[in-house]
Structure 1
Amino acid sequence: MKPTFALTRYFSALLIPTFLFMTACSSETSKDKTLLPGNWRGVIQVAGQNMPFNFTVAEQEGKPVAYLVNGEERILINEISYAQDSVHLEMHIFDATLIAKADGNRLAGRWARRDMEKPYNLPFTAEHGQTTRFSENPTAPAVNVSGKWEVQFTKADGSTYPAIGEFVQNGNALTGTFLTTTGDYRYLQGEVSGSSLSLSVFDGAHAYLFNAQAQADSTLKGNFYAGLATHETWTAKRNPDFKLASAETLTYLKPGYDRLMFSFPDVNGQQVSLTDARFQGKPVVVQIFGSWCPNCMDETAFLAPWYAKNKTRGVEVIGLGYEVSPEFDKAKARIEKMQNRLKVEYPLLVAGTKDKELVAKSLPALDKVVSFPTTIFIDKKGKVRKIHTGFSGPGTGKYYEDFVRDFNKTMDELLAEK
């Protein structure tokens, strides 16, 4: 999967010093609090399974930082502190933390995820000096799974949903992602060992584990684990022509509506509406997002630099944030963290909570909202011209490139209209 300019600028280049640092935010620094620089292999207990991931620790401007590693992606973790006998690594824009006690080359603790209606903690361990993801000595691959696959996931209740699997295999090394109608599973990294494949991703907010076994009929049959107890099964067959439903057909306006109307406070408490003078006579992109949503993070990492570059052309972007907490101050704090981290110059509003039914009620012109993010394109006359459900991020390679190309084409057309 090929990284793109937006996230390449956002996720800083990886620098790994060779020396040991012992910086702490308190004066209580000891051997037990040492966070060794270099490579680490972490494991989170996801739905009862060992989900491995990789991260590195370095020093930047005299302070410890870490990078979550998923394939070609590096996510900067620059809020590292010590409290009592544990090190705390805040998961960048997400309301989640890795908390662990250091004992030389090992860490032992928990991953605390708070951006949920029911927050949870999962056991976390890590070992220094390891670069492997799954196996130190995997068996020589008996299959090559590179290419496009038609996938069906089956939930615990028996319901199913389609997906596209895109994989790139180089020897034992495997990268790729799954695309669904509502988004993608971002950068997956893993291996093929014999006739088995394993993939995982940890972006700070989501810890996903996929495994599968190649079948005699050249299909794949596997499992997907996430969170406390999520377990789904999946099957796949090669199909280079398989397509998902169009992202522009899933969300639409109710009969009789051709405009979107709303009024929500921005992070400073000032009401913002599409009827404000700032938005009149201009194409406007309305982004429905949540700071807790990795696909929203990817879309914002695209929209923020795009707006900075194109705002002088007479175009506007508005982000409608739907957060976990209904309390304005708590929701504002999460949105502001994303705004500052991704350098967002367009207004981000505190629109409500992430319950999709409540989201649809807050925007009565919409028939429903099925995905975060959802992107609405409005012309110079204030009419809704297109609604795009979900987002195919940079981990999807050509699908992301297709989105960028289509987005720019749409905006050029709207800007050219009189």
Structure 2
Amino acid sequence: MGSLSPETREGTSQRHDAPAPSHSPRRGPGIAGRNRKGRPTMKLMNSPVIFFTLATSLLAVPQDRLPTLWDATVIVGGLTIPFRLEITHAGAAVSGAFFNGDERVRSTAGSFENGRLTLEFAHYATTLQAKWDGTALTGAYHRNGGSTRPPYPFQATPYQRTAASADGEIPDIAGLWELTVNSPKGESAWKFNVRQSGPEVAAIILRIDGDTGTLAGSYRDGRFVLSHFSGARPNLVEVTANAGGTLTVVQNAKSAYRAVRSAAARAQGLPEPADPTRWTSVADASQPLRFTAPDLSGRPISESDPLFQGKVVLLNITGSWCPNCHDEAPFLADLYRKYRHRGLEIIALSFEEAEQLQQPDRLKAFVRTYGIEYTVLLGGTPDDVKAKLPQAVNLNTWPATFFIGRDGLVRGAHAGFASRAAGPEHERVKADFVAKVEKLLVETVREAR
């Protein structure tokens, strides 16, 4: 597995750091309903009532308080990505939230004093700082923790509700598609799932390592323009419907893909998207998967630690720089709380940038934010993963999880993690994890052998 650039790590294990144009339409956090053919659309806010309530809060705002909803942008790679931002006040406390579909990515601390807004996202090691001039917020989104990467210029204006409109016939692109790719990881296809309500679209690209988060936007000038920014994985996708029933999908203004409907891809014999349960394995399943790494107090922990003997263990390869790992962490935290009393242990083997290894503040905030109670170890930098786990085969995704039986042997693996924004794919992944854990838990050590 090759090394990962800082730009790659800030987004996903697949680089997605380019933007959407400044003329993108202003849009709500999402769409809900049915399209012209009656297909259900992706629900990105819980109800129109919530959206209306947030919007009407802008009508009268004291000078020491900011409006609630904002049309915001960050500039990444010279292009402008629009997104929705929420700011709320509770007494002197201020909090902010990005949106990933209907999911809020909340700040961990915040303040608004003398016209200056500061929102900290400690679990991302980022800070949003901006000045309010009565018309707009202007500032920057900073990457902290010793990062030398430049900040993203930021601007936001109070949200104004406008109806999406489009001239002429709007193509119906709702449904399941596949993109033909030649990815650095060795994939030949990605999933592209689309929900549509008239001119408005919410979509997601699913790769072997995870997904883009919700891409939201609308139709204009002959194409759909979709974007995403939730504090990470800034992304732009432009989609054009072709006469032959295919799509041209341009990601981040530089990578163009051909998309066909999934049923057509099977009929044409095209390569299928990779199966995450078959992507990663171990060289010899008759041998324990060995590792040693320090926990956050510096104490060395290995697979032979008494805590793990006779237990079902999930060895989770993760990193607090990885958005798909953030997607996965709340699920693993819940899974551990549910099954630990039956003999489940989870080990997060986290690979971090060099500056975070010296002072893992972001990882500690990651643990706090998601209520992680299982073992967390520092494995090294992402470049160290092969040396740390030489028995692993095709381990090139963050996250990745090995399922280990009570006998200490690997019984399976899962590459990546589909987020809540992936809808049914997310539910399938969770169900697969639960089924495997429950199957392993009912085995005795003798049966496992």
- The reply to whether TM is greater than 0.5 is yes
Secondary structure, aligned partner of 1:178: strand
Distance 1:294 1:35 in 2: 31
Q: Deviations over 1:118-160 (max 9, x none)?
A: 512222211113356xx854446520111011113478x9x98
Match among 364, 368, 388 for residue 340 of structure 1: 368
Which residue does the alignment assign to 1:25? none
Which residue does the alignment assign to 2:17? none
Structure 1 counterpart of 2:74, one-letter code: I
Structure 2 counterpart of 1:73, one-letter code: E
Checking the alignment, whether the CA contact within 8 Å between 2:187 and 2:274 is kept in structure 1 is: no
Q: After superposition, where does 1:262-341 map in structure 2 within 5 Å?
A: 262-325=291-354, 328-331=357-360, 333-341=361-369
- After alignment, is 139-148 or 115-124 more displaced? 115-124
Secondary structure, aligned partner of 1:120: coil
User: Superposition RMSD on alpha carbons, in Å?
Assistant: 2.9
Secondary structure, aligned partner of 1:369: coil
Distance 1:131 1:306 in 2: 40
Q: Alpha carbons of 1:21 and 1:299: their partners in 2 closer, same or farther (altered >3 Å)?
A: same
Which residue does the alignment assign to 1:45? 75
What TM-score does the superposition give when structure 2 sets the normalisation length?
A: 0.79
Q: Alpha carbons of 1:120 and 1:56: their partners in 2 closer, same or farther (altered >3 Å)?
A: same
Which residue does the alignment assign to 1:223? 250
Secondary structure, aligned partner of 1:94: coil
Structure 1 counterpart of 2:243, one-letter code: A
Q: After superposition, where does 1:19-418 map in structure 2 within 5 Å?
A: 36-60=66-90, 62-81=92-111, 86-114=116-144, 119-131=149-161, 137-139=165-167, 142-153=170-181, 161-193=188-220, 195-225=222-252, 231-240=254-263, 243-255=272-284, 258-325=287-354, 328-331=357-360, 333-355=361-383, 358-418=384-444
Secondary structure, aligned partner of 2:304: coil
- How big is the shift at 1:205? 2.0
Q: Alpha carbons of 1:91 and 1:117: their partners in 2 closer, same or farther (altered >3 Å)?
A: closer
Secondary structure, aligned partner of 1:403: helix
Q: Alpha carbons of 1:264 and 1:415: their partners in 2 closer, same or farther (altered >3 Å)?
A: same
Distance 2:395 2:313 in 1: 19
Checking the alignment, whether the CA contact within 8 Å between 1:326 and 1:353 is kept in structure 2 is: no
- How big is the shift at 1:99? 2.3
Structure 1 residue runs of 5 or longer lacking an equivalent are 23-30
Checking the alignment, whether the CA contact within 8 Å between 1:152 and 1:160 is kept in structure 2 is: no
Structure 2 residue runs of 5 or longer lacking an equivalent are 1-40, 267-271, 445-449
Q: Deviations over 1:336-383 (max 9, x none)?
A: 10010000110111111122xx21111121134211001010000000
Distance 1:214 1:116 in 2: 44
- How big is the shift at 1:62? 4.4
Give 1 or 2: higher strand fraction: 1
Secondary structure, aligned partner of 2:391: coil
Distance 1:275 1:326 in 2: 29
Distance 1:53 1:359 in 2: 34
Distance 2:405 2:93 in 1: 46
Checking the alignment, whether the CA contact within 8 Å between 1:39 and 1:131 is kept in structure 2 is: no
Distance 2:194 2:188 in 1: 19
Checking the alignment, whether the CA contact within 8 Å between 2:400 and 2:413 is kept in structure 1 is: yes
Structure 2 counterpart of 1:261, one-letter code: R
Checking the alignment, whether the CA contact within 8 Å between 1:42 and 1:52 is kept in structure 2 is: yes
Distance 1:161 1:103 in 2: 49
Q: Alpha carbons of 1:3 and 1:337: their partners in 2 closer, same or farther (altered >3 Å)?
A: farther
Structure 2 counterpart of 1:415, one-letter code: L
Distance 1:401 1:179 in 2: 14
Distance 2:284 2:396 in 1: 18
- How big is the shift at 1:116? 9.2
Distance 1:329 1:408 in 2: 35
Which residue does the alignment assign to 1:27? none
Distance 1:113 1:315 in 2: 36
- How big is the shift at 1:217? 1.7
- Shift >6 Å, 4+ stretches: 1-4, 19-22
Checking the alignment, whether the CA contact within 8 Å between 2:137 and 2:155 is kept in structure 1 is: yes
Distance 1:73 1:139 in 2: 31
Secondary structure, aligned partner of 2:327: helix
Q: Alpha carbons of 1:2 and 1:351: their partners in 2 closer, same or farther (altered >3 Å)?
A: farther
- After alignment, is 379-388 or 358-367 more displaced? 358-367
- How big is the shift at 1:46? 2.7
- How big is the shift at 1:285? 0.4
- How big is the shift at 1:2? 6.7
Distance 1:188 1:387 in 2: 28
Distance 2:96 2:232 in 1: 16
- How big is the shift at 1:257? 6.0
Distance 1:292 1:74 in 2: 18
Q: Alpha carbons of 1:220 and 1:323: their partners in 2 closer, same or farther (altered >3 Å)?
A: same
Distance 2:299 2:254 in 1: 43
Q: Deviations over 1:79-137 (max 9, x none)?
A: 223689742222351022222221113011222234797512222211113356xx854
Checking the alignment, whether the CA contact within 8 Å between 1:140 and 1:193 is kept in structure 2 is: no
Checking the alignment, whether the CA contact within 8 Å between 1:322 and 1:352 is kept in structure 2 is: yes
Identity of aligned residues (%): 29
Checking the alignment, whether the CA contact within 8 Å between 1:40 and 1:54 is kept in structure 2 is: yes
Checking the alignment, whether the CA contact within 8 Å between 1:196 and 1:214 is kept in structure 2 is: yes
